[in-house]
Chains A and B, each alone.
Chain A
Amino acid sequence: MARIIVVTSGKGGVGKTTTSASISTGLAKRGHKTVVVDFDVGLRNLDLIMNCERRVVYDFVNVIQGEASLNQALIRDKRVDTLYILPTSQTREKEALTKEGVEKVINELSETFDYIVCDSPAGIEHGALMALYYADEAIVVTNPEVSSVRDSDRILGILQSKSRRAEMGQEPVKEHLLLTRYNPDRVERGEMLSVADVEEILAIPLLGVIPESQVVLNSSNQGMPVILETESDAGQAYDDAVARLLGEEREHRFMTNQKKGFFSRMFKGG
């Protein structure tokens, strides 16, 4: 049985696709047969970051609509051979992802893969709901700012009320907080929320803190998941997150001893 992990956030542009690419690559590098599925119909960023955009022939929507088999649509990664990408369509409507269609594809993937990583579109509408519906676990990608935290909270509520697990009354979707684009200097200046602030508000376990880093931009421009940049802070932070996802205990790094966060400053008058 595959483990289905959704990477979601509510708010756009917080790092979901970056995270999906690195987490799936990290899981595959550890020998787990992994597929990363792009649910962002119409935008299609994942294949750019995975550097396979020129190899896309058939996509997720083609498979749902019976125009191609799953094997025809799956793209095998050139760097990590246990990693596959299921790209999405750039031309179809978001409504092309039907509950039954998605279920059929997920079930078929479950037969051969250990991990299915679902890259969710932003928002809380149809596409995002489809991406999280079948999830066993959720990586909630959050930036250290109030609006992103609020949207993450919203998505957490949806995960616990509208996912398949919630509807069937099964064990709830396992929640992980991944704080990305974290800039300790700006936190210290009170311009951003601290890790402690975000943890306190969202009240879910912390999977990792990914620092804000130029390396992320450079590597995605080159079609390279940043986790493969093993020398970089961001790459190592993603590697830690993958280890924790698999149950390993690793100390949190890259968050520097934060003093007082935004909230404590604001409300305690200090």
Chain B
Amino acid sequence: MSDTATTRAQQVFQLKSASVSMTALELYYFDNDEFEDTLRNKISQAPGFFRDIPLIISLEKYEGLDSELDFFKIIGACRRNNIHVIGVRGGNDDQRRLARGASLALMPGNGQRDRGHEAEAETVPAPAAPEPQAVKEAPVTKVISHPVRSGQQIHAPEGDLVILAPVQAGAEVLAAGNIHVYGPLRGRALAGIHGAESARIFCQSLEAELVSIAGHYKISEDLQNSGWKSAVQIQLRDDLLVVAPLDKA
């Protein structure tokens, strides 16, 4: 190609820091048939969501025997369903050795502060995202420009939801990803409905009946004390919904 001549002076590649959001599969025990059945079942609920996504296997809640933990079978089942397992998170030394044997990347678990990896995180590409969370990447954003009125429901099953108008009391908006309301949020807003804990809710005036992220919710009564009737973002930190003013974000 004609570009080659002009770029030859450069090195063949450069490492850049990148953070990619990913879906984590929290494994409790492993049985090949059950695993693949459950996987198919999940996929059938939102086929577009799962196609060709990167996946990490989280071992933090694994309770089965180490000898049953067959990463080659896990990878195989996922491949058959167009999901790419790229690494494991957490797990004990034996489990991590098995994962390494299956050419999977190793990521620190929540309690594990893997110094070496953290230091590298600056320069290592993609999978080294510090705390991968269950969020779909490159989502389809749904944009609504009319008010969402009482009794109406707007659903963004795959990505983010952006509303350029009020969400009224008695209305409900749901999204797999984030929810942005460029107007008052007076109804119910549920972000991260498939479990994306890094999903957030943004609104110009918090007057909501209920807000929820990945199933953790607060009702209007519990929201009065911080950011009520002002512009805020809401996110999940350590299983708690945190409301923060937008101007200080």
Q: A residues near B, CB below 8 A?
A: 124, 150-151, 153-154, 156-158, 160-161, 201, 203, 267
**Residues A203 and B165 in contact, CB atoms below 8 Å apart:** yes
- Tell me the number of A-to-B contacts counted with CB atoms below 8 Å: 35
Could you say which residues of chain B place their CB within 8 Å of the CB of A156? Answer: 147, 149
Q: What's the Cα separation between A219 and B178 when bound, in Å?
A: 55
Q: Give 1 or 0 for each of B208-224: 1 = CB within 8 Å of chain A CB.
A: 00000000000000000
Partner-binding segment picked from B18-26, B62-70, B155-163, B168-176: B168-176
Q: What's the Cα separation between A187 and B168 when bound, in Å?
A: 22
Could you say which residues of chain B place their CB within 8 Å of the CB of A267? Answer: 228-229
Which chain B residues in 118-162 approach chain A with CB under 8 Å? 146-152
**Residues B146 and A160 in contact, CB atoms below 8 Å apart:** yes
Could you say which residues of chain B place their CB within 8 Å of the CB of A158? Answer: 149, 151
Which of B146, B149, B165 is the one whose CB lies under 8 Å from A153? B149
**Residues B150 and A150 in contact, CB atoms below 8 Å apart:** yes
**Residues A201 and B151 in contact, CB atoms below 8 Å apart:** no
**Residues A201 and B229 in contact, CB atoms below 8 Å apart:** no
Q: What's the Cα separation between A124 and B150 when bound, in Å?
A: 12
CB of B54 within 8 A of chain A? no
Could you say which residues of chain A place their CB within 8 Å of the CB of B171? Answer: 157
CB of B91 within 8 A of chain A? no
Which chain B residues in 164-216 approach chain A with CB under 8 Å? 165-166, 168-171, 186
| Chain B interface, >50% SS class | loop
**Residues A161 and B152 in contact, CB atoms below 8 Å apart:** yes
Q: How far apart are A270's CB and chain B's nearest CB, in angstroms?
A: 13
Could you say which residues of chain A place their CB within 8 Å of the CB of B150? Answer: 150-151, 153-154, 157
**Residues B149 and A201 in contact, CB atoms below 8 Å apart:** no
- Interface size (B, Cβ < 8 Å)? 16
**Residues B166 and A203 in contact, CB atoms below 8 Å apart:** yes
| A156-B147, A201-B168, A203-B166 given; 5 more Cβ-contact pairs under 8 Å | A124-B151, A150-B150, A153-B170, A154-B170, A158-B151
Which of A124, A150, A203 is the one whose CB lies under 8 Å from B147? A203
Q: What's the Cα separation between A238 and B223 when bound, in Å?
A: 42
26 CB-based A-B contacts, threshold 8 Å: A150-B169, A151-B150, A153-B150, A153-B168, A153-B169, A153-B170, A154-B149, A154-B150, A154-B151, A154-B170, A156-B149, A157-B148, A157-B149, A157-B151, A157-B168, A157-B171, A158-B149, A160-B146, A160-B149, A161-B152, A201-B168, A203-B147, A203-B165, A203-B166, A267-B228, A267-B229
Could you say which residues of chain B place their CB within 8 Å of the CB of A153? Answer: 149-150, 168-170
Could you say which residues of chain B place their CB within 8 Å of the CB of A124? Answer: 151
Q: What's the Cα separation between A160 and B151 when bound, in Å?
A: 12
Q: What's the Cα separation between A154 and B172 when bound, in Å?
A: 12
Q: How far apart are A109's CB and chain B's nearest CB, in angstroms?
A: 29
Q: What's the Cα separation between A203 and B151 when bound, in Å?
A: 16
Could you say which residues of chain B place their CB within 8 Å of the CB of A150? Answer: 150, 169-170
Q: How far apart are A263's CB and chain B's nearest CB, in angstroms?
A: 9
Q: How far apart are A10's CB and chain B's nearest CB, in angstroms?
A: 9
Could you say which residues of chain A place their CB within 8 Å of the CB of B166? Answer: 203
Q: What's the Cα separation between A145 and B165 when bound, in Å?
A: 22
Query: Given A150-B169, A201-B168, is A157 in contact with B228 using a C-beta cutoff of 8 Å?
Result: no
Q: What's the Cα separation between A201 and B150 when bound, in Å?
A: 11
